[in-house]
Structure formats: C-alpha cells, structure tokens
Structure 1
Amino acid sequence: MNPITSHSGTTGPGNGAAAPTRSAASFHNVTQVFGDFTAVDGISLEIPAGRLTTLLGPSGCGKTTSLRMLAGYTQPSSGTIYIDGEDATRLPPERRGLGMVFQSYALFPHMTVAENVAYGLKLRRLPRAEQTRRAAESLDLVGLGHLARSRPRQLSGGQQQRVALARAIAVRPKLLLLDEPLSNLDARLRVQMRAEIRRIQSETGLSVVLVTHDQDEALEMSDEMVVMRAGRIMQQGAPASVFGAPANRFVAEFMGYENFLSAPDGTTLTVRPEHLHVLPSSAAEGHHADLRLSGEVLDLAYRGVDVLVTVAAREADGRDVRLICDVRAGAAADLHRGDPVDVVAPASHVIALRP
C-alpha cells in the first residue's frame, strides 16, 4: 500500500445546491471583488475527490484568485467555500489541511533537500523520526531519494520542482493546489513533469487542483477541466467532452478551433483545421460532403508531416471567410497558391456553438 493517502470521497461536478459531503472542495456562489474589479463572479463549482481538476483560462480570468481563496490567502467577498465537507470560508490557511506548490518553488537554500521536504512536518511538531520517514517516502515517490542530502542550488529546475512537490505531499494534504507549477521549466521538462505529476496523483489518489493557462497541459493532465473567462465558468467537464464539444466560441477559440462559419439560421458553426479536407476543384464534384465551400489557396505553410493550407472562401450568404486547413504533406503536394479548391467536411466534425 502506498504510504501517502488522500481523504476519501468521489463525486462528479455538481450544481452547488447543497453542502458537499463526498467532494474534496466546492465553491457555492463565490464572488471576489477588488475595488471596482470583479475577479470572480458568483461561481459554483464541485471539485471531485481523488481526481485532478484543472482551472484553465487566459490571464485575468479568475483562476488564480479562485485558487488563493481555496487556499485561504484571500477571503471571498461573498459565498461559501467547503473543504472536505466543512465550511472553510473563514479558516486561516494553516488550518485547511492543504498542500501548495507555487510557480517559484520557494525552497530554503540553506537546508538540504530532505530538510526542505520535512519543513511542513516540523511546523506541525511531528516526532523527528516521523518527519524523517515521511520526507524519505515523499522523495522516493518523486524519484529523488538519492538527492536527500543535496542543496537546492545543486539541483536542476525540474528537480527543484519535484522537491517542492514532495514537500507539499509529505504533509498528507486533503487537497493539493498547484499554481502554474511548470511555467518556469523549458518545454522538454514541462512535458516530463506533466507525466510525473499525473503519475503521482494516480498512485496516491490525491485530490489535486491545477491552475494553468496552457490548454495542452490541461488536456494531458486533467480528469476534470474548468474553463474560465472574466471570473465566470464557461464550461466544465472531462477533457474529451470540452475539447470535442466546446460550449461557445470563447471555449472553442481557447481550445484551438480556428474556423468559424454562419449557418442559415444564424448559428455559429466551427470545425477544427485537421477535420477540413482540401480538394482541387476539378476533383471535388464526385466527393460527397455535408459542408462544402469553394475558394482559392492563399498560403501553404510546410510543417514537416503536415501543411497548413489557408483558403479564401465564400459562405452561402456571400460573406468572405478564411479557412485554416491542416492537411497531410502528401495530400498537399499538388496544391499551389492561387489554385481553385473546395474545402469539405462531414457533418460529424461540424459543431454548432451556443451564443
């Protein structure tokens, strides 16, 4: 059995109607106002236990403010926050039983790695032998047991990040909060640490809330995604459901949809670049498609295995539209700027968006 465990309970996203008893935490109509600025605007959110939940959105959307309210570093202007079924709205941070990893790892340079990891345990006045045991277990979990006697300055950025993670896990938190923890790493290390955090969460069963602006990071790591904009929740669900069926244009654009069209009834339609096929006009007549637009190739951007083809087309109502099509390099070999083409897609890949 893994020595590090989380509090029990599982639940899916709820509607915030009643105090939760089987979730790690929840927000009930929570608002945070700073002067004339509303950072978080009446959100209700369930954070399921034993899963990794991502708060995702652009800068200023309210995700970090939400995390800080959950951690107790700022009090909501109104609403209620529950942690492990208990009202924690006015509890100070040290009484919430949470672990947190920041963008800056905040390691003590004069302490060894093991001493850094044991620091929270020391503050909790655990016996020294228990501090040593838990610190060793946590370092082994993140693969750094062999560096227990090293100093932070002797570690790489990725190793320092894992030490900060081990320190947060060592206190056996009810909930682990990660505030953009990978933003200071280079691209290769970020990819490695995504898998590492995902592995640790899976092995321990910890309830984790991760704040990020990186949709790839959220898609790869999350059990549950919460997309925010201007202090409100735009969409919540499993990564596949959010990515495959964005609720509105903001979510679609944030998730990488680039093509937006108008249906005859005024509904906005969207389709991803990789779901559009580009056919020379001379070869398109016998090709059945639910969506078909005629146009002209404006640009081709070679990217190795694929080519981004930009097409200037015209919708049925006469409006001009630019389409971005992600085409395999072999299929784009005979395309040139100025070629007349048809852009087609099956109905299964065309999504109607809510206003």
Structure 2
Amino acid sequence: MNTTTPLRRNPEDHSDPQSAPAASFKNVSQVFGDFTAVDDISLEIPAGRLTTLLGPSGCGKTTSLRMLAGYSQPSSGTIYIQGEDATRLPPERRGLGMVFQSYALFPHMTVAENVAYGLKLRKLPRAEQDRRAQESLDMVGLGHLAKSRPRQLSGGQQQRVALARAIAVRPKLLLLDEPLSNLDARLRVQMRSEIRRIQGETGLSVVLVTHDQDEALEMSDEMVVMREGKIMQQGAPQEVFGAPADRFVAEFMGYENFLSSSDGATLTVRPEHLGVVPAGTSQGSLGGLRLQGQILDLAYRGVDVLVTVSAREANGREVRLMCDIRADAARELQRGDQVDVVAPAASLIEL
C-alpha cells in the first residue's frame, strides 16, 4: 500500500506541531431556548493528536463538534483554530475535514470522484485532484476500487471512502462524528485501527465524537468526558480510566462497585480487581478490602465468570458487588455460598 509523501508530515515545515493547540474553546456556550446544550466550556485540542469527546447522548459532544465545524454558532464564547478566531467563519473557510455518521457519498459518482469532490470545489487542477484522490484511496486500502460506485461497496468500504475524501483536502483538523456507529462489531474494531494508523502516519489533528468508552480508550491520545454540557474530566486514557474524577466518570468508564470508606468517603473498584474466596480463609490482600457476603448469581462468559455478591459494609449497609474472576477460579463456587470479597488497597479509588 502506498502511503508516502504529501499525506505525511511536510518535511519543509519546521514549526513545532505541539507548540500551539489545533483548536480551542474559550468560555463557549450553546443555548437553545431553555436548554443549555454546552455550558461555558474551555478546552484546548492538542495538535497532531487524536482527541475524543466522550459521553452519553445529550451531553453536548456533537453540539461542540458542530460549533467547531462552523455548522452552528455559539451563543457566547470564542472558538480558535490554530490560534485564529474562527467563531464566525463559515464552514468552507475553516479548512476542516469532516466524516459524518452517515457517509454522505454521492451515488452517481465513482469512488475517486467522491474523494476528489472537495478538491474540485477548491478549484485544484484536474491532475492534482486525481493524484490526491488516488493517494488518499491508497492510504485507506481502496485504491483498486477507484472506479467503483458507492452502491458496490460494503459499509466498511464506504466509511473508508468518506475518510479518504476528508483527508484528501489536507485539513487543519479532521472531525469525526460517531463515524463507526453504523458498522458491525468486527468492522468497528478494524476501522479503529485504521483511523489510528492514518492519524499516526499523517500527523493529522483529529477530534472524534463517540459514546463508546472502549472506542475512546483504544483510539485516544486525549479524552474529554462530558455531561450535561460540561467537561467532567480531560486527560490521557490511562489517567481518566485509572483515576476517574467523580462517580459519573467512574460509572461511564465501567466501574460498577461503589463502597463507603471508614471516614465516609466513596470508594470504587472495578469488577476485575475483586477476588472471591471461601468465607473465613486467609486468602486476599492484607490492608485492602475484605467484606463478607453471599453469592447471588454466577454468569459464565467463557474465560471469565461474573459473580454477583450481596455483602455488608462495616457500617451495616448492604451493597451488591460485581466480581469478574477467571472461570477456573470459579469452578467450586455456587449460588448461596458464603464468601469473602477481597481487593488490594492499590485497586481502591477514592472519589
């Protein structure tokens, strides 16, 4: 596959791609009547990296992306692109590329014509349009389908064409709005890897909107978790996953167990960090968690078993704990067994 030259970083550009953000929001809000979709957010999107806006439906992530793209004007605040005020610029003057949830390919055009469409609007010479279109298609592995029509392609291939069209215009910033949600599970995983590869090879600054935490964890350099129009936490995937800022972020990142500490603080621990041992045994980590309980359910999932335990904290409050343990360690466990739930101190996170 040919992935050379102009789509890679420009060797004549000696500026530091990390010296200034690719885009930034300064006290940006978007209000629709009585509803505040985005509530006074300030955010820097680093250059040359892949940033995800992550959160449940209605959290403001797509509205933020649309404001960045120029399809919606903020009610207040300022949006900068590469350090310049772009708040009132129309979409066509922002120099951005965008891939939507629906691929929006023109059915009467060939694949190559679809990819070259943005270049044609920019009035590039025909030879340059053809060269860039072919190069972009080669990068996504579809150079051999340049003369095909969209109806002849699978969903995954159509998504790749939409991506090739977006990168062909050499955007300042590539915006991806839930681009993988219409694909089946296998293709989603494959396209995650493809987008990450292309971003790494080209050095593009990318903003991806998603509600899928696994997708965000796998693809991101930077994650921005949103709720009700506000930014709840921002950081590298390892930071957000390993140290969620509050209960909302913890729950969204898959933490299911919430407990009270001796001083009344809330603790959380992931299911895979909990062990289940026979009641009263010496197994488990000293100085960590140990609660007595009874098994309510066991759900076999192949290599592991999800064990649901009803336990009591030191203050007498009943809690239901989800414990994800290896299948071979669960062979002797049955519903109704009295057990101890244990976890090392290092796996307990205070919120």
User: TM-score, normalized by length of structure 2?
Assistant: 0.96
Return the offset for 1:290: 1.5
SS of equivalent residue, structure 2 residue 254 = coil
Corresponding residue number in structure 1 for 2:308:
310
SS of equivalent residue, structure 1 residue 330 = helix
Corresponding residue number in structure 2 for 1:164:
162
Residue segments in structure 2 that go unaligned for 5+ positions in a row: none
Corresponding residue number in structure 1 for 2:183:
185
Return the offset for 1:173: 0.2
- Cα distance in 1 between the residues matched to 2:272 and 2:190: 26
Corresponding residue number in structure 2 for 1:15:
none
- Cα distance in 2 between the residues matched to 1:170 and 1:248: 41
SS of equivalent residue, structure 2 residue 302 = coil
Return the offset for 1:265: 2.0
Return the offset for 1:287: 5.9
Return the offset for 1:283: 2.2
Corresponding residue number in structure 1 for 2:87:
89
- Cα distance in 1 between the residues matched to 2:284 and 2:28: 56
Provide runs of 4+ in structure 1 moved above 2 Å.
5-11, 282-289
Corresponding residue number in structure 2 for 1:25:
23
Distance of aligned partners of 1:33 and 1:287 in 2 relative to their CA distance in 1, 3 Å threshold: closer
- Cα distance in 2 between the residues matched to 1:285 and 1:230: 43
- Cα distance in 2 between the residues matched to 1:121 and 1:131: 6
Corresponding residue number in structure 2 for 1:293:
291
- Cα distance in 2 between the residues matched to 1:90 and 1:109: 32
Return the offset for 1:49: 0.3
User: TM-score, normalized by length of structure 1?
Assistant: 0.95
Q: How does 1:244-263 map to 2 (within 5 A)?
A: 244-263=242-261
Whether the 8 Å CA contact 1:2–1:203 is kept in 2: the answer is: no
Question: Which residue, out of 4, 7, 13, partners 1:4?
Answer: 7
- Range 105-114 or range 284-293, more displaced: 284-293
Return the offset for 1:10: 4.0
CA RMSD, Structure 1 to Structure 2 (Å): 1.3
- Cα distance in 1 between the residues matched to 2:276 and 2:262: 23
Corresponding residue number in structure 1 for 2:174:
176
Corresponding residue number in structure 2 for 1:234:
232
- Cα distance in 1 between the residues matched to 2:67 and 2:134: 31
SS of equivalent residue, structure 1 residue 130 = helix
Corresponding residue number in structure 1 for 2:208:
210
Distance of aligned partners of 1:92 and 1:295 in 2 relative to their CA distance in 1, 3 Å threshold: same
Question: Which residue, out of 190, 194, 197, partners 2:195?
Answer: 197
- Identity, % of aligned positions: 83
Corresponding letter in the other structure for 1:319:
R
Return the offset for 1:3: 1.5
- Cα distance in 1 between the residues matched to 2:214 and 2:16: 28
Render the CA deviation track for 1:190-245: whole Å, top value 9, x for unaligned: 00000000000000000000000000000000000000000000000000110011
Corresponding letter in the other structure for 2:165:
R
2:342 is equivalent to residue 350 of structure 1:
no
Corresponding letter in the other structure for 1:130:
E
SS of equivalent residue, structure 1 residue 23 = coil
SS of equivalent residue, structure 1 residue 283 = coil
- Cα distance in 1 between the residues matched to 2:253 and 2:72: 30
- Cα distance in 1 between the residues matched to 2:291 and 2:280: 14
Residue segments in structure 1 that go unaligned for 5+ positions in a row: 12-20
Corresponding residue number in structure 2 for 1:324:
322
Render the CA deviation track for 1:120-141: whole Å, top value 9, x for unaligned: 0000000001101110110011
Aligned residue pairs total 344
Distance of aligned partners of 1:281 and 1:161 in 2 relative to their CA distance in 1, 3 Å threshold: same
Corresponding residue number in structure 1 for 2:130:
132
